[in-house]
Amino acid sequence: MTLLEARNLGVGYKIPGPGLFSASRMLPIVHDLSLSLEAGRTLGVVGESGCGKSTLGRALLRLIPPSAGQVLWQGEDMTLIPDLRRRRAEMQIIFQDPVAALDPRMTLARIVSRPLSTFEPNLSRVQVRARAVDALQQVGLSADFADRFPHELSGGQAQRVGIARAIIGRPKLIICDEPVSALDVSIQAQVINLLMELQEKMGLALVFISHNLAVVRHISHEVMVMCLGRVVEQAPRDAFYARPLHPYSQALMDAVPEPNPKRERGRVGTALAGELPSVLNPPRGCVFASRCPKATDLCRQTRPELREVAPGRQAACHFIET
């Protein structure tokens, strides 16, 4: 069965009106997005910063409510799952800023094991402690970390603690929201490899959000490219990296800086030429039209639908060459 599925998902943020009682407006961020993910697989989500990747990740876990469409968890509409809060053990998330993701006033044992008091309330103190230590060890941190505080950790160690907290309830899915973007390049590989090892051991599915194409290539089975809240291309990893079809994907690939061991490789900056349209004023036609070298009037007038352009590959562009 499909583990996670999104159907025509729309997500936005409520912007309060000017007065206390004036109606609030909806600021749409993610539009008409569909995806599906099988157990044990990894979906890489790539896009420039601000395109709505984090918003999508949170909406997939229903940490923010969708404004349109649905998210299905193992075939069940998430809005209809009774007492979803207690089922959250199965679906976890790790964050971009690993230190901010840990409560500075709590010990690591407490941080890691807190979810258990919701998910498995019948455990004894001793059992909870043992599980916390076990989770820490699974992410490569020795038991003497248990009574430390977050400010004693390096970024890489803090991210491991975040992962330990995510796996303590034995999840089926982890949303990884740019989990290595804030880490030193030397540490990034360790964390990525840890995630892959845990994936294999626990049969985890991952949604791996990143703006780093090289990292996504390493970890993903499937790649999804987002631009301004819309999917513009989706493809199996090898096919995608062999030849990205959408002009936006191609531009992202070209924006990858030359291999330079001193610099982080594969990072997509906002270095694409041209002006990024604002979310407040989205373009009528193609989301990439203002920056696309191939753009025509058609592109500016009519939005291209996401369509099957090759077996297993989808792209949203009027002029795909296959």
Partner 1 sequence: MSVDLTLTEAAPPRSASTLQLQFRRFRSNRLAMLSVGLLALIVLACFFGPYAFPFTGEDADFDFISAPMDLWSPHPFGTDEYGRDLLVRVLEGGQVSLTIGFLGALVAGVIGVLYGAVAGYAGGRADGLMMRLVEILYGFPYVILVILLSLLFGGGNLALFAAIVFTLWLTPAVIVRAQAQSLARREFVEAARAGGMTGWQIVVEHIVPNCISVVIVYGSLLVPEVILSESFLSFLGIGIKEPQASWGNLIASGTSAMDSDLRLLLLPGTLLALVLLCLNFIADGLRDAFDPNDR
Ligand X SMILES: Nc1ncnc2c1ncn2[C@@H]1O[C@H](COP(=O)(O)OP(=O)(O)O)[C@@H](O)[C@H]1O
Question: For residues 51 and 116, which CB has a smaller minimum distance to Mg ion in the complex?
Answer: 51
Give me the residue label for tokens 């990205």. Answer: 244
- Looking at residues 73 to 132 of the shown chain, list those that interact with partner 1 (rule: CB under 8 A): 85-86, 88-89, 91-93, 95-97, 100-105, 107, 114-115, 118-119
Sole window of 50-58, 103-111, 157-165, 223-231 interacting with Mg ion (rule: CB under 5 A): 50-58
Q: Which of 292, 306, 313, 314 binds ligand SF4 (CB under 6 A)?
A: 292
Sole window of 47-55, 133-141, 217-225, 313-321 interacting with ligand X (rule: CB under 6 A): 47-55
Rounded distance between C-alpha atoms, residue 14 and residue 115, angstroms: 28
Q: Which of 5, 9, 31, 54 binds ligand X (CB under 6 A)?
A: 54
Tell me the three state secondary structure of residue 244.
coil
Work out what residue 319 binds among partner 1, Mg ion, ligand X, none; the CB cut-off runs from 5 to 8 Å by kind. Answer: none
- Give Dmax over CA atoms of the chain in angstroms: 67
> What is residue 114's DSSP assignment?
H
CA torsion angle for 292, 296, 297, 299 (degrees, to 10)? -50
256 within 8 A of 272, measured Cβ to Cβ: no
Burial environment of residue 261 by CB neighbours within 10 A (0 to 12, 13 to 18, 19 or more): exposed
Residue 54 binds to Mg ion (criterion: CB under 5 A): yes
307 within 8 A of 319, measured Cβ to Cβ: no
202 within 8 A of 164, measured Cβ to Cβ: no
Q: Which two tokens stand for residue 106?
A: 């709590």
- Give the binding site for partner 1 (CB under 8 A): 14, 16, 20, 24, 58, 61, 63, 85-86, 88-89, 91-93, 95-97, 100-105, 107, 114-115, 118-119, 137, 140-142, 144-145, 148-149, 151-152, 157, 162, 165, 190, 193-194, 196-197, 218
- Give the binding site for ligand SF4 (CB under 6 A): 247-248, 286, 288-289, 292, 294-295, 299, 304, 317-319
